[in-house]
Amino acid sequence: DGYNWAPAQSWAQWRSFADTFAPFHAWGMARNKPMMVGETGVQERAVGEKAAWLRAAQADLPTKLPGIAAVMYFDSDTIYPWWTDSRPDSFEAFSAFANDPYMTTRATALPASVAFTSAATSTPPTVLLRKPLAGAAVTGTMLMTADAVAEAGVARVEFFVDGNLVGVDTTAPYSMPYDSRGHANGPARVEARVLDRTGAGAMSQAASVTVANTTVTLSAPADGTIVAGGLTLDAAAVAAPGRTVTRVRFYASSLEIGADTTAPYAVTVDTATLPNGPTPVYATVEDGSRETGRTTTTILSVFNRFPPKVQLTAPAEGAGVRGQVWLSADAAPGAGAAVARVEFLVDGVKVGEDTTAGYGLSWSSTRVANGVHTVTARVVDNAGAATVHSRTVTVTNAAAAVTAPAAGANLSGIVTLTASATPALGASVTRVEFFVNGSKVGEDLTAPYSLPWDSRTKSAGTKTVSVKVTDSSGQTARSADVTFVTGTLSVALTSPADGAVVSGSVRLAAAAGAGAGATVTRVEFLVDGVKVGEDTTSGYGVSWASKKVSNGVHTVTARVTDSAGGTMTHSRTVTVANVTVALTSPTTGTTAQGGVTMTAVATPSAGASVTRVEFYVAGVKVGEDTTAPYSITWDSRTVSNGTRAVYAKVTDTAGRSANSAKVSLTTRN
């Protein structure tokens, strides 16, 4: 029933009788089956097509559809106006049709039954599909071949893929190329059919193959997308077994716009290079030097136009600003659009917008840190297009910070609170107020800003200190809180005394106490800021070798640390006076002969006097002197010529000694 046979849809489109029923006819003839077409019809698109369809059917029935026994035309439709006598041309065509020998008109009743006689010969034709082989994996163009034999003579060999006729060959050897790229990857069924000159037919065995082509699909943008500006085309490509994707090419309006050789495959193009309106885009894939696949075509709508314009009018580029700052801009829409809004941003963060011409707003610059910031105006029109304009400004608002005490410090007694303060642009600091636990404890009107605060007025424990600056413009700023601890943490050097002269091994000692609720964990001793030892036991002290520093004034410090993490220091100065000696003659590199005069200067340690200065050549004592100025004469002829090290050694009444630096002496006698 071709009229109601939905897959054929003969009633919904213009198709000839032969095109509609050729697959059905071929199927029945190949299997030697009787066939009956109940009814059919098509949609008439224009006047005269009714007659054309009838004439085509009259011509096609004996040539394209052999073996028909009878045809009957029903002119009794009362719903659709497909009556042959509705127009003279269609009636004339039907009259000619009715006179054909196989046409049974409505004036002549069909017999009670119509016998179907096969047009096959006594020996039916045979066909053998040679290629492709069953189980084969096919790519690209697949060659289909078949052997056919017919007693009545082979009229043609038809080739089918998945039941669809894909080619016909009328001369031996029978073959047909088939481009498998038009078939989805996966299983496919290939068959051949022979038809002899009587209309008899036969089907070959089916060969199941697997189509495995290199494929490519456009993954973005979607069909129907409206694009403007930068357009990125994305594609996914899968190589056939044993093959490698070498290149994916992208096309717009049949012109190549780019290619990519590595996954993920993509190109970006400026739509300004494309015409406005519907634009077909697609991609092809290569797995060598040849194209092996192509995507379906995606239709995009290209919409190029001039973007909107915007220009900041305030503040000026590089301006210094403070407090409330007026941000303003001029804006114009793109072609065919209107300004929807102007947004204002600081460092990329939106701070407001205006939708009315004369675009502007007031921005509080105190919400950002002092320094350089970027102000941006961004216009958006009602077509969704946007443009930006940016400038930099320097924000200088009043600011304050606590500089002492340090966060976490453990303090006691009188604590010095200090702060740094900056006025707003064009102003000066009028006062800095100090707060402990939120309560004002004093203020300072002049830099450097500080305040002594007696921690004993508050109970021991954790405290917070903050400061508030006020400038001549009336602007104020509050610092962050700094937390510290007050208690009875203490340390005091007990040895050596302040200003003492020391030498040799010196005992460094201190008394220490922990803060409230804590214990002393250690007392460290430092000389000129360098740690020389520590003690963890009460009676805190260490022995320090003063010879490790030069003679002169040095600072000794004791630093206590308690279990609460609190620290405190106490320092004194001492004068180091250790025994020293320096060789003044000969000087290094001297060449001498005969008698050589050696001289030295020596200093005893604190509270002692020099007892002797000894002179050494190559580690062997060659003389000494017990009175200043210290010198001897050495006969260099007592040793062989050559270079030797010479130095002096001093010993004082305290039993301390020291060696001078060595110098090199060369003798040539």
More confident residue, 542 or 212: 542
Q: What is the pLDDT of residues 441-460, one digit of tens each?
A: 999 999 999 999 988 677 77
Q: Please give the average per-residue pLDDT across 83-93, as a whole number.
A: 61
Neighbouring C-beta atoms of residue 397, cutoff 10 Å: 24
Give the integer Cα–Cα distance in Å for 336 and 303.
12
| pLDDT at position 80 over 60 | no
Question: How sure is the predictor about 219, in pLDDT bands with cuts at 50, 70 and 90?
Answer: confident
Give the integer Cα–Cα distance in Å for 206 and 162.
10
Q: Please give the average per-residue pLDDT across 31-46, as a whole number.
A: 67
Q: Please give the average per-residue pLDDT across 475-502, as a whole number.
A: 90
Q: Please give the average per-residue pLDDT across 279-292, as a whole number.
A: 79
Q: Find out whether 519 and 556 touch, Cβ atoms under 8 Å.
A: no
| pLDDT at position 648 over 90 | yes
Q: Which residue is associated with the tokens 């790229």? A: 181
More confident residue, 290 or 498: 498
Where does residue 25 rank: exposed (0-12), middle (13-18), buried (19+ CB within 10 A)? buried
The lowest-confidence range among 181-195, 228-242, 278-292, 577-591 is 278-292
Residues β-bridged to residue 227: 302
Encoded amino acid at 181, one letter: R
What's 546's DSSP letter?
G
Q: Residue 52: its pLDDT value, please?
A: 77
What pTM was computed for the model?
A: 0.35
More confident residue, 646 or 336: 646
Q: What is the pLDDT of residues 317-366, one digit of tens each?
A: 999 999 999 999 999 987 668 899 999 999 999 999 999 999 999 999 99
Question: How sure is the predictor about 213, in pLDDT bands with cuts at 50, 70 and 90?
Answer: confident
| pLDDT at position 370 over 50 | yes
Q: Residue 12: its pLDDT value, please?
A: 54
Q: Residue 6: its pLDDT value, please?
A: 37
| pLDDT at position 289 over 50 | yes
Q: Please give the average per-residue pLDDT across 503-516, as a whole number.
A: 88
Q: Please give the average per-residue pLDDT across 52-59, as a whole number.
A: 78
Instruction: Provide, rounded to the nearest whole percent, the portion of the chain with pLDDT above 90.
Output: 55
Q: Residue 199: its pLDDT value, please?
A: 84
The lowest-confidence range among 240-249, 436-445, 526-535 is 240-249
79-83, 98-102, 361-365, range with greatest mean pLDDT = 361-365
Beta strands in 365-398 (DSSP E): 371-381, 386-395
More confident residue, 419 or 212: 419
Q: What is the mean pLDDT of the chain?
A: 85
Q: Please give the average per-residue pLDDT across 80-101, as a whole number.
A: 61
What's 46's DSSP letter?
S
| pLDDT at position 84 over 70 | no
Give the integer Cα–Cα distance in Å for 240 and 213.
5
Give the integer Cα–Cα distance in Å for 93 and 488.
124
Report which secondary-structure segment, H or E, holds 176.
Answer: strand 174-179
Q: Please give the average per-residue pLDDT across 195-203, as a whole number.
A: 89
Q: Which residue is associated with the tokens 């060959």? A: 169
| pLDDT at position 116 over 60 | no
